[in-house]
Amino acid sequence: MYSKEEAARLRQQFWISFGQYMKPVPAASGTTVNWINYKTGVKHIYFKMDVDNKKASIMIQLAHPDKGIRHLVLEQFQEFKLMLRNALGEDWDWIADTTDDYGKTVSQISATLNGVNIYNQQHWPDLISFFKPRIIALDDFWDNVKPVFEDLSL
């Protein structure tokens, strides 16, 4: 086991390494992007990457506090499901209602890689290989559909 400080240091070191690895990659729009803290530019819609000592996940998280509006946004994403699948090259899991790390009910579309551990530096290449193509594909997808979600006026 790692101390709390050591665990925090390793997590920080991984994300710094990933950020440096991704820094030269431009967004689909040609602009510079902070891949680790990706800003969708639409309130209540987030692209998140997370990893712990068992699994890694990447997701589109819909966090509007109103369930009806959140589900409406999820339905809009479902309209683009084929486009999303084509961009990603794989199917992701769709969950209408789940709980985030803070106990809030959210909707999410996600992919998970099991059997990886952020505290094992030998797993870092696998983690980078998991996150990199998916966040780039999400960015490409988002570059095409973002105007639709901006027009929803969430």
Q: How confident is the model at residue 3 (pLDDT cuts 50, 70, 90)?
A: confident
Cα separation, 143 vs 137, whole angstroms: 10
- Are the CB atoms for 22 and 35 separated by under 8 Å? yes
pLDDT at 61 over 70: yes
0.85 exceeded by pTM: yes
Q: What percent of the chain has pLDDT over 90?
A: 92
Residue 137 CA neighbour count, 13 Å, CB half:
20
Q: What is the structure's pLDDT at 153?
A: 59
Q: How confident is the model at residue 94 (pLDDT cuts 50, 70, 90)?
A: very high
Q: What is the mean pLDDT of the chain?
A: 95
Q: What is the structure's pLDDT at 135?
A: 98
Q: What is the structure's pLDDT at 66?
A: 95
